Amino acid sequence: MCTDLHEHGRIPTIDSLRSVDHVVGSPIEAISVDRRSDLGLKELQNRVHNISCSCITTKEVVDELAKLVCSRMGGSSATGEDDLLLYWRDCSDDLKDCLGSVVVPIGSLSAGLCRHRALLFKVLADTIDLPCRIAKGCKYCKRDDASSCLVRFGHDREYLVDLIGNPGYLCEPDSLLNGPSSISISSPLRFPHLKPAIPAIDFRSLAKHYFSDCESLNLVFDDAAS
């Protein structure tokens, strides 16, 4: 989002992002998705079409697509994203330096964290009309920008697809990602597993007190009238 006071709340244009001065190690990052001019993305889309034609089931397509994304983004890491972080930073800095811009085409990335992998998976899934969406949260990290992909199977089932540790592995979307204190990704296609709400106030007890108070007031007024 743009931090300019005059443009508060607006998404900056691609041209304004390209005009940002690039400094090595800059935290500013913008990933562009251009299906027409990004040659790397075009090559990936062609491979995905071949995968879609050669696979029989949706699960097979998801598995192959996840492995393609993982391979393209620096490989898998069973221990989480810490092993990928330095590799991604080097790759990102090299690309920004080569392009002279903080805007990086997604097809040019040779390393990526969960947010980059989720975005690439979504872009490629859209190419073959595979129902998929990006959700906030990740099994392997706790950053604010952590992202994962949910793939829909049929009309009423969604699964999280692993893009880092075990590419292609599917799990329930409403399971906790980083332990009991972490957020959980829920699916709008399923009702969440909620515990029955316990009211904090005992309304029955309050009602009894209310009526007993009314009776005592009536007695007081009756005594005063007599």
Q: Kindly state the DSSP code that residue 107 receives in the 8-state scheme.
A: G
d(CA 166, CA 58): 18
pLDDT above 90 covers a percentage of the chain that reads 42
pLDDT at 113 over 90: yes
What structural domains and CATH numbers belong to the chain? 29-192 (3.10.620)
First to last CA, the chain: 75
CB neighbour burial string for 65-96, b if at least 16 within 10 angstroms, e if fewer: bbebbbebbbebbeebbeebeebbeebbeebb
Interval 15-49: pLDDT, tens: 888 877 776 656 778 899 999 999 999 999 999 99
Tell me the residue type at 34: D
The structure's pTM equals 0.73
pLDDT at 180 over 80: no
* pLDDT score of 204: 60
**Contacts for 27-30: CB closer than 8 Å, 24+ residues apart:** 28/102, 29/92, 29/102, 29/104, 30/102, 30/103, 30/104
Range with the lowest mean pLDDT among 10-19, 63-72, 88-97, 170-179?
170-179
d(CA 190, CA 198): 23
| Distances 32 to 62, 109, 219 between C-alpha atoms, Å | 23, 11, 78
Q: Mean pLDDT over residues 131-143, rounded?
A: 88
* pLDDT score of 221: 42
- Inter-axis angle of helices 114-127 and 58-72, to 10 degrees? 130
d(CA 157, CA 143): 27
